[in-house]
A = this chain, B = another copy of it.
Amino acid sequence: MNNNELDLKHYDVRTDLALEAKEMAEGAGGGPIPGVLSDVTEDNGISITRLHVQNEQGSQAIGKIIGQYVTLEVPGLRSGDTGLQDRVATHLAKEFEAFLERLSINKQSRVLIVGLGNWNVTPDALGPLVVENVMVTRHFFELMPDQVAPGYRSVSAVAPGVLGITGIESSEIVHGIVEQSKPDLVIAIDALASKALERVNTTIQIADTGIHPGSGIGNKRKGLTTDILGVPVIAIGVPTVVYASTIVNNAFQMMTEHLEQQRGDTDKIFGLMNKMGDNERLMLVKEVLNPMGHDLLVTPKEVDQFIEDIANIIASGLNAALHEAVDTDNVAAYTH
């Protein structure tokens, strides 16, 4: 498929969020982007952006595969407010149900949840943590199908590990498990890279595009897509890291904007830096930072607690979206 071959390196946006890719494209070009529809709704601290990359033109413009992307942004999520967490889980469930409908996944369809990432590296442990917390039911359907209460579907969940620990591509492992367990839908959970530190651990993206090569924070050289697995793949991702170079580059832009508002003449302030394109400037930032060995992926110091909270939110949201018997009003009760 053509889209798979998008040269993401070229864009080097270093973001896995379609929302950020669109923001960058808008910033560069100004105004709306042909082939990309979006709308935003707000609910008391939760901002939901629904973004539709409609065609090849839109895909080229923002460097993202054609498909639906929904992003929940919740700046207050780091505060540990359990009431807010429950509200986010409920919104996540509702948005996710819309994905199921669009994909014609019915109430009996069987689901496999795949938690990508490494459970020993905290910011990369999101996927395995969701797998631990989500409700699985497939074994009941297999072992005693007559006794499963109505309102549930068959759900299974695996954490395939990362290439450096297993020696096998995640996509190969998942492919093997899909062939054995024959789900109708795969949901892939993954930690992402953002270009904005404030989005780290406060943002959840759902996309019907699957996981593509080069996305996410591990080395996922092969993707998890319908092409590869033979069933639809919905991806749920949370940015948990930022490249140090992205922080720097992003700061340049913010400072330019800040100073423009305040003083007017940024050319005198930033000189030629200001005239560089975003990408040219990023290349320069990387040229400086990389040789000194510190273009690291960084994460907020309190990542341990943040990751646990957001893994619980995703597990709760999935439980409510996948099982009619689990009520969106009280999704938290079904997770550990």
Contacts and interface: CB of A to CB of B under 8 A. Distances in A.
Interface stretch (A28-36, A150-158, A207-215): A150-158
A161 interface: yes
Interface string A277-312: 000000011011100111011111111110000000
A221 to B, nearest CB: 8
A44 interface: no
A107 interface: no
A245 B306 CA distance: 21
A247 B299 CA distance: 13
Interface string A231-274: 00000000001101001100100110010000000111111111
Interface stretch (A14-22, A46-54, A56-64, A166-174): A166-174
A1 B238 CA distance: 48
A288 B266 CA distance: 15
A242 to B, nearest CB: 8
Copies in the complex: 4
A248 B163 CA distance: 32
Given A158-B168, A172-B180, 14 more contacts: A122-B303, A137-B167, A138-B168, A173-B176, A175-B180, A197-B244, A198-B294, A254-B288, A255-B285, A255-B288, A267-B271, A269-B271, A270-B272, A297-B300
22 contacts: A121-B301, A122-B301, A122-B304, A131-B166, A136-B164, A136-B166, A139-B168, A139-B169, A155-B167, A156-B166, A156-B167, A158-B160, A159-B161, A172-B180, A175-B180, A176-B177, A176-B181, A247-B247, A247-B248, A247-B298, A266-B271, A269-B272
Interface of A: 75, 80, 82, 119-124, 131-132, 136-139, 154-161, 163-169, 172-173, 175-181, 196-198, 217, 241-242, 244, 247-248, 251, 254-255, 258, 266-274, 284-285, 287-289, 292-294, 296-305, 333, 336
